A and B are shown apart, each in its own frame.
Chain A
Amino acid sequence: QSALTQPASVSGSPGQSITISCTGTSSDVGSYNLVSWYQQHPGKAPKLMIYEGSKRPSGVSNRFSGSKSGNTASLTISGLQAEDESDYYCCSYAGSNTLIFGGGTKLTVL
C-alpha cells in the first residue's frame, strides 16, 4: 500500500494563503471522509490540526481548514504566519481497519 501523495514542498509569504494537497485512491481518501492533518515541527511529535476531513480540534486556529474532492483532500492555511512553517502530513482511513499517511509537505514561509 503506497503512501498518499503530497507535494514535497510549498511556500508562501506572510498573510497569503496556501493549499497542500493529499491524493489517494478510491480505496482510501475517495471512499471515506476520514482524512486528518498533522503539523510537525522539527524534533517534536505531530499535532492534530484537522480531523474527519474538515473539523478543527479545540485550540486550532480557524486559519486552518480542510476539504476533499474525489480522491484528493486539501489543507488550506490562510493568513500565513511565520509560526506555520513546519512539516504537514495527511492521514486517511484505508479500509480493513488500517490507516495510511501521506509522504509529508514542508511549508516554508518566505
Chain B
Amino acid sequence: QVQLVQSGAEVKKPGSSVKVSCKASGGTFSNYGVSWVRQAPGQGLKWMGGIIPIFGTANYAQKFQGRVTVTTDESTSIAYMELSSLRSDDTAVYYCARHWRNSFDFWGQGTLVTVSS
C-alpha cells in the first residue's frame, strides 16, 4: 500500500520561501508522477503544479508560475514543493498527490503553512 508522508507544519514570514517534502513508501513517483494541491482555510482545492513522467518536465498553474518549483529525488522517493515570495494569502494546507490514470489516487496527510509577520 502506497503511503505519502509529508513534512511538518511551517510558520514563515512574508517574502520568505518554504520547501515542503513528500516521501513515498510502498511505491515511487518515477512511474506515476506527483502533483501539489493547496487548500486555503475554508476554501477549495487548487492544483499548483506537478511532474508527470510522460511529459518529462514540471508544469505549473498560471497562478503560481514563477513562484513554485516541484522536484523529485528518485533515489529517496521524495518529492519537494518550494514556494517563494510568500504572502499572507499563501497560508494553506499543502497536499502532495500521486498521479494515476489522469487522477490522484494517493494523497499525503497535508502540511499547514502559515505566513505571518
Q: Do A and B bind each other?
A: yes
**Which A residues lie at the B interface, using CB under 8 A?**
1, 3, 34, 36, 38, 40, 45-48, 51-52, 55, 57, 89, 91, 93, 96-104
CA–CA, A104 and B44, complex, Å: 6
B61 at the interface (CB under 8 A from A): yes
Contacts A45-B107, A45-B108, A46-B107 given; indicate if A101 touches B101 (C-beta within 8 A).
no
Closest residue to A103 on the B side, CB-wise?
A: B44
Asked if B100 and A51 make an inter-chain contact with CB atoms under 8 angstroms apart, the answer reads: yes
Set of chain B residues within 8 Å of A89, measured between Cβ atoms: 44-45
* Closest CB in chain A relative to B103 CB, distance in Å: 4
CA–CA, A47 and B45, complex, Å: 12
* Chain B window 23-46, contacts with chain A (Cβ cutoff 8 Å), 1 for yes, 0 for no: 000000000000101000000111
**Which B residues lie at the A interface, using CB under 8 A?**
35, 37, 44-47, 50, 52, 55, 59-63, 95, 97, 100-105, 107-110
* Closest CB in chain A relative to B42 CB, distance in Å: 10
Contacts A46-B104, A52-B102, A52-B103 given; indicate if A98 touches B61 (C-beta within 8 A).
yes
* Closest CB in chain B relative to A34 CB, distance in Å: 4
Set of chain A residues within 8 Å of B109, measured between Cβ atoms: 45
Most buried by A among B46, B52, B55: B46
Set of chain A residues within 8 Å of B103, measured between Cβ atoms: 36, 48, 51-52, 91
* Closest CB in chain A relative to B63 CB, distance in Å: 8
Query: Can you report 5 A-B residue pairs in the complex whose CB atoms are below 8 A from each other?
Result: A3-B46, A46-B97, A51-B102, A99-B35, A101-B46
CA–CA, A45 and B94, complex, Å: 10
Contacts A45-B95, A51-B100, A51-B102 given; indicate if A104 touches B62 (C-beta within 8 A).
no
CA–CA, A48 and B52, complex, Å: 18
Set of chain B residues within 8 Å of A3, measured between Cβ atoms: 44, 46
Asked if B47 and A91 make an inter-chain contact with CB atoms under 8 angstroms apart, the answer reads: yes
Which of A57, A98, A99, A103 touches B105 (beta carbons < 8 Å)? A57
Asked if A52 and B44 make an inter-chain contact with CB atoms under 8 angstroms apart, the answer reads: no
Asked if A96 and B101 make an inter-chain contact with CB atoms under 8 angstroms apart, the answer reads: no
Asked if A34 and B102 make an inter-chain contact with CB atoms under 8 angstroms apart, the answer reads: yes
